[in-house]
Amino acid sequence: MGSILNQRPLIPDWFKLEEVQDFILQHQEEDLAKLRLSGKFPDSAPALPLTQILEFRKRLAQKFPEVKNLPSIYIPSQKSVEQASSMHTASYKVENFPADTLAEITGGLGLDLLARKGKLKKGYYFDIDPELVEAFEWNSKIFDLPAEAEQGDGNQKFLEKNIKVDLVYIDPSRRVGGKRVSGFEDMEPNVLPHIDYLLKASKSVLIKAAPMLDLAEGVRTLPQLKEIHVLSKSDECKEVLFYLKSEKTSEEIKLVHAHFIHDEWRQYACPYSDIIAEQTPLGELKDFLYLPWPSIRKSGAYRNFGKQFNLVKPESNTHVFFSDKLEKGFPGRVFKIKNTYKSLKEIKGKFKKAEILIRNHENDLGTLRKKAKIQAGNENTLLVMGRKSDLKILELERL
C-alpha cells in the first residue's frame, strides 16, 4: 500500500457517508449556482467543498459518462479532470493494447486503468501527487479493480518493485510550470532515460504524447518503436500514442490512424514510410472531393493517397483531394461536387443555412458566415478554399 497511509487522509470522512452519496446522485444534474443558493445541503457536509465535488463530477461526466452512476467516485481537483483520458480514448487503448498485467506510472485519476475493469488480472498505479494516489485507491475499490497504488516518482517506484508486466503505460504531464510542453524531454517525468529498463521489465510500453508532438521525434528517440497511433474525433486530433515492444524485430513501424465516428473507432493503417515520400500528383478539380480525418492531416499519411486511392490534389500544401470517379474506403469525408463558385458575392443569399468547411483560406468561420449571410445548419455543405484571386467555393453533396 501507499506511503501516504501515515499522513492525514485527503478524502474527507463526510464524503463517504451514505446521505452525502445520495445527495450527490440526486443533485448531480442541477445548476450548481442555484443549488448553492438553495442551502439544501446535508448537515453532515460543508456546502462549498461538496458543491466543488459536484462541479468536478459534472466535468468528468462529460469525458466519462459512467461517473454519473457512481456517486462515490472521488475527484480531487479540476486539474485532475482536465488531464484525464476520455472514455473513448481509454477504451481505444483497452481494445488495441490488451494486457493481463499493467503498470501505469503516471496514474492521474487512473481512468486508463479503471477502464480495464473486468479485463485486468493485476494493475499497478503510481503518481507523484499523494492526493491522486489516495483518490485512486478509493476509486479502484469502487470499480472493483485488482490494483495496487503507490505514491512517488513512477519510474523509480516501478523499478524498486522489480515486477514484470505485459504493458507499462505512461501519460506524462504536458503542462509544466504553467506552460504547455510537447517534447519528451520537457514532459514530467521525462521517460527517455528509463525506456531501456522499462522494456526489460515489460513486454511493451505505451507512451501518450501531445497531439502537437512531431512524430519524427518519437521515431528518432524511442527505441524498439513498433507502432504509432494517432487518434482523432470531430475535427480535432486527440492523442498520439507510441507503442514499443521488448521483442526485437525488423518490421517497419506501423502508423495507425483512428477516428471516432458514429459511436465507433475506425482505423486506417499504413507503413510509417508512407508519410515521408510525396506520392500524390497535382491535378484539377474533379467530380468527387475527399477530406481526410484530422489524425491523417496530423501524420501526413495523405502523401500516399495518389497511389492508394487514385486521387489528385490542387496544390502541394493542402489536405483536399479530388477524383473523377468515386473511390471506396477513403478514411475521411467524401462528397460529390455539385457546383463551384468564385466569390462570396455569388453565394450571398443563396444558402440560408449550411455547414461551412474552410481550407487554406484567410477568413475564419464567423467572418465567412457574416459576409455570406449563412447561418449554421446541416441543409447544405460548402467548402471555402484558396485565397482571394484563387478563391473557390464548392457546394457539396455528402456521400
Contacting positions for ligand SAM (CB under 6 A): 83-85, 105-106, 108-112, 126-129, 132, 153-154, 171-173, 188-189
Residue 108 or 332: the one with the smaller Cβ distance to ligand SAM is 108
CA gap 105, 355 in Å, rounded: 43
Shortest Å, Cβ 114 to ligand SAM: 9
HSE toward the beta carbon, residue 273, CA cutoff 13 A: 2
Question: Minimum Å distance from CB 10 to ligand SAM?
Answer: 14
C-alpha cell at 218: 518519437
Closer to ligand SAM by Cβ: residue 131 or 217: 131
In the bound state with ligand SAM, the residue whose beta carbon lies nearer, of 241 and 311, is 241
Q: Which is nearer to ligand SAM, 194 or 297 (CB)?
A: 194
What grid cell was written down for 343? 466569390
CB closer to ligand SAM, 83 vs 246: 83
- Residue 221 beta carbon to ligand SAM: minimum distance, rounded to whole angstroms: 18
**Which secondary-structure segment (H or E) carries 56?**
helix 47-63
- Please report how close the Cβ of residue 56 comes to ligand SAM at its closest, in angstroms: 13
What DSSP designation does 172 have?
A: -
Phi–psi pair at 319, nearest 5 degrees = -120, 30
Strand ranges, E, within the chain: 101-104, 122-127, 147-151, 165-170, 175-176, 179-180, 202-209, 225-233, 236-245, 254-261, 264-271, 288-292, 321-323, 332-341, 353-359, 375-385, 392-398
What is the three-class DSSP state of 94? helix
The residue whose Cβ lies closest to ligand SAM is 108
Residue 176 CB, shortest distance to ligand SAM, in Å, is 9
User: Who's near 234: CB < 8 A, 6+ residues apart?
Assistant: 294
Q: How far is the CB of 205 from ligand SAM (least distance, A)?
A: 14
- Of the pair 128, 222, the CB lying nearest ligand SAM is at 128
Contact by Cβ (8 Å): 236, 259: no
C-alpha cell at 260: 471516432
Least distance (Å) from ligand SAM to the CB of residue 202?
16
Nearer to ligand SAM, 154 or 218 (CB): 154
